[in-house]
């Protein structure tokens, strides 16, 4: 969805190593936002993103409009019922239907052999991989490690919205997920530090969390 950082560019780098051509899509997808203010405030930096992608060696940039991607007005959509209600889906109804629908459309348009997704959005990766397999898509869905800042904060476009004080505190999210003995203890510690946890849960051999710092919702997961 743009506001590219080194995590995104690491996907481009891997794609270039493994393929003859690399295409990147940028589209701030309105159907996956529950909060209109979140959509309105989401960083949009297309000029800077284009320059970064050119420097990184991407071959193509696809920047579709809402009219092009949703000529039906989002009447048709992809719905998943097992993983979607968990974690981020529990507090964001309809979020993953928006994600899966737009990714299905982008994969169909690109007709790529492989598509690369970061593990920071691990639930999203599992859902997209499952969708591609369920609908016999030709594209193989691959995951790549989460790229972090030097202080351990997972790189995210939303980090741009943090105040200096919030940015100084934000690395405690990943640190707490790693050091707490249980998910319950991690949630308690995050609240003590000043986070507002949405959830902290252990699933699929990983510890997942979503927590707010002010108005910014951060997500992360670490391997147990």
- List the CATH number of the domain containing 213: 3.30.1300.10
User: What is the band of 35 on the pLDDT scale with cuts at 50, 70, 90?
Assistant: confident
Using the predicted structure, report yes or no on whether residue 41 has a pLDDT greater than 90: no
Co-location of 132 and 24 in the same domain: yes
For residues 161 and 138, membership in a common domain is answered with: no
Residues 33 and 107 in one domain: yes
Asked if residues 117 and 202 have their Cβ atoms less than 8 Å apart, the reply is no
Dump pLDDT digits (tens) for 159-183: 989 999 999 999 999 999 999 999 9
Examine the domain organization and report whether 211 and 100 are in the same domain.
no
Provide the CB-side half-sphere exposure for 91 (13 A, CA). 13
Distance CA 44, CA 1 (A): 8
Residues 48, 18 share a domain: yes
186: in domain: yes
Flag whether 78 is in a domain: yes
Distance of alpha carbon 102 from alpha carbon 89, whole angstroms: 16
For residues 64 and 90, membership in a common domain is answered with yes
**Of 100, 115, 144, at which residue does a domain stop?**
144
Is 37's pLDDT higher than 90? Answer: no
Q: Which of 5, 8, 95, 184 is catalytic?
A: 8
- In a domain? residue 109: yes
- Assigned domain for 150 exists: no
How far apart are alpha carbons 162 and 215 in whole angstroms? 9
Domain-located, residue 34: yes
SS3 25: strand
**pLDDT for 42-69, tens place per residue?**
889 999 999 999 999 999 999 999 999 9
Exposed (0-12), middle (13-18) or buried (19+): which is 199, by Cβ within 10 Å?
Answer: middle
Residues 167 and 197 in one domain: yes
Do 139 and 51 lie in one domain? The reply is yes
150 burial via Cβ count (<10 Å: 0-12, 13-18, 19+): exposed
Query: Mean pLDDT, the chain, as a whole number?
Result: 96
Q: Which of 144, 178, 210 is the last residue of a domain?
A: 144
pLDDT (0 to 100) of residue 146: 97
- Whether 11 and 98 map to the same domain: the answer is yes
CATH number, domain at 31? 3.40.50.620
pLDDT for 34: 85
High-pLDDT (> 90) share of the chain, %:
94
pLDDT at 10 over 90: yes
Structural domains of the chain, count? 2
80-112 pLDDT, tens digit each: 999 999 999 998 999 999 999 999 999 999 999
Kindly state the tokens that stand for 45. Answer: 């930096």
pLDDT > 70 fraction of the chain, expressed in percent and rounded: 100
Active site residue 5: no
Q: Is residue 120 part of a domain?
A: yes
Of 144, 168, 201, the position where a domain reaches its end is: 144
Q: Across residues 34-38, what is the average pLDDT?
A: 86
Please answer whether residues 188 and 205 qualify as being in contact, where contact means their C-beta atoms are separated by less than 8 angstroms: no
Question: Is residue 217 predicted with pLDDT exceeding 90?
Answer: yes
**How far is residue 46's CA from residue 1's CA, in Å, rounded to a whole number?**
10
pTM of the model: 0.94
107 occurs within a structural domain: yes
| 24, 27, 33, 36 alpha-carbon torsion, rounded to 10° | 150
pLDDT, residue 169, reads: 98
Residue 106 shares a structural domain with residue 25: yes
Indicate whether 151 belongs to any domain.
no
Q: Does residue 13 sit in the same domain as residue 98? A: yes
Residue 138's domain comprises 6-144
39 and 85 share a domain? yes
């Amino acid at each position: 969805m743009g506001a590219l950082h080194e995590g995104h560019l690491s996907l481009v780098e891997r794609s270039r190593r493994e393929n003859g051509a690399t295409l990147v899509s940028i589209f701030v997808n309105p159907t996956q936002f529950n909060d209109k203010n979140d959509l309105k405030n989401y960083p949009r930096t297309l000029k800077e993103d284009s320059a970064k992608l050119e420097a990184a060696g991407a071959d193509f940039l696809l920047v579709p409009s809402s009219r092009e991607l949703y000529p039906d007005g989002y009447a048709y959509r992809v719905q998943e019922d097992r993983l979607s209600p968990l974690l981020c889906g529990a507090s964001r109804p309809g979020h993953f239907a928006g994600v899966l629908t737009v990714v299905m459309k982008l994969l169909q348009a690109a007709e790529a052999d492989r598509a690369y997704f970061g593990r920071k959005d691990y639930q999203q990766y599992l859902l997209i991989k499952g969708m591609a397999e369920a609908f016999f898509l030709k594209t193989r869905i691959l995951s790549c490690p989460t790229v972090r800042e030097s202080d351990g904060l997972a790189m995210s476009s939303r980090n741009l919205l943090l105040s200096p004080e919030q940015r100084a505190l934000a690395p405690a999210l990943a640190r707490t997920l790693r050091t707490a003995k249980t998910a319950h203890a991690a949630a308690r510690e995050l609240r003590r530090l000043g986070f507002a946890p949405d959830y902290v849960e252990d699933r699929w051999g990983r510890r997942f969390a979503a927590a707010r710092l002010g108005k910014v919702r951060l997500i992360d997961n670490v391997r147990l």
